[in-house]
Amino acid sequence: QELNKRLTVHVSSFLHRLRKLMCRLLAGQTDTATSFSCHHIAGSLSLHVKSELSGLPFYWDFHCCPAPVEMVSRHLVRPLIRMSLALQYQVQGLTSLLLQKDAEIEDYRESGATLSRDRLRTEPFQEQAFQQNFMAEVRSGAS
């Protein structure tokens, strides 16, 4: 808006366009009309994104500075912790459901029921093995 006062756009449209552009760049899908550069100078960060909008060159310049701890906590850390807890509760619920289903299947087997299609047979859910595999994946992804 500094360079073109008549240009107005909804924030959601702006963010959607920027997100699509950056996702392509970060995924390695580059083209000649799009580029991204980042410069860290004296405690500030400048991001420059060159793209095209309706066939015309369009430049995005972002000048970033460190945020106060309270702001980072409120807008980044706390939401991530809440999401992590929600996912943890969801995993616990799904684990419990799988264990209940296995108990139900075992009860059917003990009462003489058999599968009509053997390809549907599954091994009982091993919670301990699942947790160990999950943690191994998390650790390998972190390095």
pLDDT at residue 27, rounded to an integer: 83
Residue 6 lies in a domain: no
96 and 125 together in one domain: yes
Same domain, 49 and 75: no
Separation CA 93–CA 12 (nearest Å): 34
How many separate domains does the chain show? 2
Alpha-helical regions (H) of 27-126: 69-72, 78-110
- Residue 17, pLDDT > 90, answer no
pLDDT score of 3: 62
For residue range 21-45, list pLDDT tens digits in order: 888 888 888 777 788 888 998 888 9
Backbone angles phi, psi at 41, to 5 degrees: -135, 125
Domain that holds residue 42: 11-64
Q: What is the pTM of this model?
A: 0.59
Evaluate whether residue 4 is within a structural domain.
Answer: no
Do 42 and 90 belong to one domain? no
Beta-carbon contacts of 45 under 8 Å, excluding residues fewer than 6 positions away, are 38, 39, 63, 64, 65
